[in-house]
Amino acid sequence: MSERTGSRRAWPAGFLGMIVIVAAVEYSIARRSVDFVETSRSSWSLSGDAARTARDREIVCLGDSLIKHGLLPRVLAERTGMSTINLSVCAAQPPVAYYILKRLIDNGGEPRIAIVDFKPDLLAGGLRNSSSYWPEFATVREAIELAWTGRDARFLAETIVAGSLPSVRNRHEIAASIRAALAGKTDPLRSVNLALWRNWKVNQGAEFTPKNPGFDGRIGEADINKYMTKNFWCDKINRKYIERFLDLADRRGIRVVWLLPPISPGLQKLRGELGSDRTHGEFVRSFQKKHRGLIVFDARKSRYDSSMFLDPVHLDGEGGYALSCDVASMLNQIVESGSIAGAEPHWIDLPEFRPRPLDPRIENVEQSKIAVRDSTAESLRR
Amino acid sequence: MLFNTFHFMYFFVIVFALYWASSFRFQNLLILCAGYYFYACWDPRFLALLILSTAMDYGCGIAVDRIEEPRRRKLFLILSMALNLGMLGYFKYFNFFAESLQSLLDRSGVHVSIDRLNVALPIGISFYTFQSMSYVIDVYRREIKPTRNLIQFAAFVSFFPHLVAGPIMRPTTLLPQIERPRTFDLHQFYQGVYLIFWGLVKKVVVADNLAPIVNDLFGRSATIDGGSALLAVYAFAFQIYCDFSGYTDTARGIAKCLGFELALNFNLPYFATSPRDFWARWHISLSTWLRDYVYISLGGNRGGKAKLYRNLMLTMVIGGLWHGAAWTFVLWGFYQGLILIGHRVLEPYLARIRPTDSIDRGAWKLARIVATFHLVCFGWLIFRAESTTQLSNMIHAIVDRPAIPAAATLLPIAICIIPILIIQMIQYITRDMIFIFRAPWYARSVFYAACFYAFVLGGEFGGGRFIYFQF
């Protein structure tokens, strides 16, 4: 058996041909992102893109899924009179909030208030914790900056490769879609994405969800492993980016409200008993020493009933509505008292939860699913 | 640092750029430094062993060449072998022999506690000790002149593409390449990139996808049906082939990018028509090493059939033991010796079958390929079994519980194996391992794109280690 030398070519035509084929396939995948992007990752690209165009918003909500489920821009806007957008993303760590705020400012945005949260269990992890999400969001420059700050060359390579090739970042979803097609089934990702994207649009970035009958408030071992850190801990890259975020806001005169959202009573009790709640509070206070204008809204002791939650940490639509109302009224008080422009630190405990009648104009995810189904059927009829 | 990681990608890109930007003298120094860094990434403590083996064999090589008196020459040869085999014995075989002795004593009713060593196996020790040792033996046999340049010799031993899992390069082929200046050859570079790519596809797409299936089936050896057991063996045959040949293809590709040619280590082994042919195609660098330094040293085929069979058996048992310190590897080596001897015995009778018709010739060849493949597969069953109980369970399942395997087991294995089999059939028929290089550009483009998407969508990126690293 030989490895005969072939004709000598100056140009690797086969390789170049491959590049063309791959480029065509990647383009086609990128155009069909609704079929392949995993739902929680799509929130990264939606918020990342919206940050470039939402320059007219006065209140911007940033952070992770607790804010996404917990703050409704429509409620905040109507009750404060300030235009609002929710640009939080699922599983976001502090660098995401920083880059979204930066993009907003770089594109001419001048928000007055930024409401932000940083979920404790996400603060404990480094960059790698969300490495599958970054390619949906980060520009090359941001990826370099992040990798440099985290001293993580692998992160840079992974983010740039997956960021440039949609097939790489959506590989599991594409493979699942192929498997489903081979089995003669339809992958449900498309319909779920369409519904969530619609909900994102009508709720301006928030995710408004109906009740989850499957959650009864009990905290199991799996929940503890998923949501609890026995000792509160913040990775150094997250600390650096919280600093950068607050510095940027300070420089631009944006008042930051650090929201500590409510979690289900069972989990809150466990956190209290373990002491991680106290250390988390001390961690937040440590930033107030340097950033005197930082306001903290603490809803951890607001006694939200477990029926207001989708799962141990995320509020459902009703809970989110109540929290939005309370946050809006607190913002109004601050604005009216004039301390919005002041430089005094504030730690404000949000009032106890009280149920409020839901605004029927707010569309929940189930309603979005029906609307999408109807519009698809309508377009098929046409 | 695995070839299938970004860490290696960064490392190689930097080495490649510096290498071709440097002068010849600096190139060898760079290869040496890169090799030591590559090795230290596994465990920096064991770098001392590599350096010790290099320094000792460099000195022994010069001594063996300079000294004329046969006894003193032999003394230095023995010193080199004692050091290399001593290192290998201490790290790889001490606990195995201690456990075996302990078990023997326990069974004999003698209760003595033999201490075990708490040491990790230095990665690649079986490869670089054999390579380094063969240098001194070749100098002793006056087959090569020793190199006076320590950097060049150290670069030969620690050449990173093949340092931890072969191919075991002979000083006669690799040293001259290190000693002479290299120039960048674009065609060689293209071939190198292709081999890296193809090797990674074999490893990440085929071997790493088959690994969990094989692990699951072998893990359920006591309960699975015969069809699934048989499938497990076939799947393992392709897993180990794609894992190891994927590694060597990548290693050869990397070497080509740096202007070196490493030996072809696999030549379509599952198309072998006899056990002897199989060993001429499987892990060629090890089998030729064992032939030249063990089998021939034992007397080879001189001294009658009984000695020939003894030498064959000893060589294969040593080969089995080289693969790992466990009785299943010894048994595997013994089995390989047995089928080689069996083939030698039957060879005169088989040679009488000479079909004249082309269809008959083809059918006879196919029958020999299928038979050899199954003989090899039985060897893989011994090789893969974690214990003799598992081995016996699998054999019982195949013999006692024959069944058609479930589609859920069959389909993923077939998806992994069939494309590789088709490519190998083309390679076999065209007698060309890189036939794709002679295909029209558009066919190559489609093939590369298909491999790319198999890699992206079907690849297992859990950082699976190569099987042969443990040897």
Q: Do B452 and A18 count as a contact with CB atoms less than 8 A apart? A: yes
Q: Tell me whether A160 touches chain B (CB under 8 Å).
A: no
Write out chain B residues lying below 8 Å of A154, CB-based: 5-7
User: Contact, B2 vs B8, CB < 8 A?
Assistant: yes
Q: Contacts from B342-346 at CB under 8 Å and sequence distance 24+?
A: B342/B275, B343/B274, B343/B275, B343/B276, B344/B276, B344/B308, B344/B309, B344/B312
A327 CB burial (10 A radius; 0-12, 13-18, 19+): buried
User: Contact, A265 vs A304, CB < 8 A?
Assistant: yes
Residue B465's pLDDT is: 56
Q: Tell me whether A343 touches chain B (CB under 8 Å).
A: no
Q: Considering chain A, what is the average pLDDT of its residues?
A: 87
Q: Tell me whether A15 touches chain B (CB under 8 Å).
A: yes
Question: What's the ipTM?
Answer: 0.78
Rounded Cα distance, A165 and B456, in Å? 10
Write out chain B residues lying below 8 Å of A135, CB-based: none
Closest by CA to B390, choosing from B400, B399, B381, B378, is: B381
Of A13, A153, A175, the CB nearest to B457: A175
User: Contact, B262 vs B162, CB < 8 A?
Assistant: yes
Instruction: Indicate if the pLDDT at residue B385 is higher than 50.
Output: yes
Residue A346's pLDDT is: 83
Q: Tell me whether A179 touches chain B (CB under 8 Å).
A: no
Rounded Cα distance, B401 and B216, in Å? 18
Write out chain B residues lying below 8 Å of A21, CB-based: 445-446, 449
Residue A287: partners with Cβ closer than 8 Å, 6 or more residues away: A242, A243, A246, A258, A294
Q: What's the pTM?
A: 0.79
Instruction: Indicate if the pLDDT at residue A284 is higher than 50.
Output: yes
Instruction: Indicate if the pLDDT at residue A1 is higher than 60.
Output: no
With tokens 């089936």, the residue in question is B217
Instruction: Indicate if the pLDDT at residue B459 is higher than 60.
Output: yes
A142-197 confidence digits (pLDDT tens): 999 999 998 888 889 889 999 999 999 888 888 888 888 877 777 778 888 888 98
B83-122 confidence digits (pLDDT tens): 988 888 888 888 888 888 888 888 888 777 777 777 777 8
Residue B446: partners with Cβ closer than 8 Å, 6 or more residues away: A17, A21
SS3 A59: strand
Residues 321-340 of A with CB under 8 A from B: none
Closest by CA to B210, choosing from B470, B444, B450, B421, is: B421
DSSP H or E segment with residue A331: helix A317-337
Instruction: Indicate if the pLDDT at residue A325 is higher than 60.
Output: yes
How much helix, strand and coil, in percent to the nearest 5, is found in chain A?
A: 55, 5, 35
Q: Rounded to whole angstroms, what are the CA distances from A204 to A194, A241, A314, A375?
A: 15, 25, 18, 20
Instruction: Answer with the residue of higher pLDDT: B423 or A346.
Output: B423
Residue B335 — φ and ψ, nearest 5°? -65, -40
- Tokens in use for B356? 């004249």
Residue A96: partners with Cβ closer than 8 Å, 6 or more residues away: A44, A62, A89, A130, A137
A7-26 confidence digits (pLDDT tens): 455 678 888 999 999 999 99
Sequence ranges of the domains in chain B: 18-181, 187-266+353-470
Rounded Cα distance, B455 and B459, in Å? 5
At A380, the pLDDT band (50, 70, 90 cuts) reads: low
How much helix, strand and coil, in percent to the nearest 5, is found in chain B?
A: 75, 0, 25
Residue B107's pLDDT is: 82
Residue A343's pLDDT is: 45
Write out chain B residues lying below 8 Å of A170, CB-based: none
Sequence ranges of the domains in chain A: 34-381
With tokens 């503890």, the residue in question is A224
Instruction: Answer with the residue of higher pLDDT: B397 or B123.
Output: B397
Mutate to test the interface with B, among A9, A21, A164, A172 (most CBs of B within 10 A): A21
Q: B458 CA to chain A: closest CA distance, Å?
A: 7
One-letter amino acid identity for A249? A
Residue A359's pLDDT is: 83
Q: Do B448 and A14 count as a contact with CB atoms less than 8 A apart? A: yes
Q: Do B444 and A13 count as a contact with CB atoms less than 8 A apart? A: yes
Instruction: Indicate if the pLDDT at residue B129 is higher than 60.
Output: yes
Of B6, B9, B456, the CB nearest to A168: B456
User: Contact, B427 vs B435, CB < 8 A?
Assistant: yes
Instruction: Indicate if the pLDDT at residue A342 is higher than 50.
Output: no
Closest by CA to A298, choosing from A338, A351, A335, A339, is: A351
Q: B257 CA to chain A: closest CA distance, Å?
A: 15
Nearest chain A residue to B450 by CA: give it: A18
Q: Name the active-site residue from B162, B187, B283, B323.
A: B323
Apex CA B405: angle with CA B401 and CA B410, to 5°?
150
Residue A382's pLDDT is: 59
Write out chain B residues lying below 8 Å of A167, CB-based: 453, 456-457
What DSSP character marks residue B90? I
With tokens 């060589």, the residue in question is B315
Q: Is B343 a catalytic residue?
A: no
Over residues B203-219, mean pLDDT:
90
Write out chain B residues lying below 8 Å of A158, CB-based: 6
Instruction: Indicate if the pLDDT at residue A381 is higher than 50.
Output: yes
Q: Tell me whether A168 touches chain B (CB under 8 Å).
A: yes
CATH fold of A34-381:
Rossmann fold (3.40.50)
Residue B467's pLDDT is: 55
* Helices of type H across A132-235: 134-137, 140-150, 153-164, 166-169, 171-182, 189-202, 221-227
Nearest chain B residue to A168 by CA: give it: B456
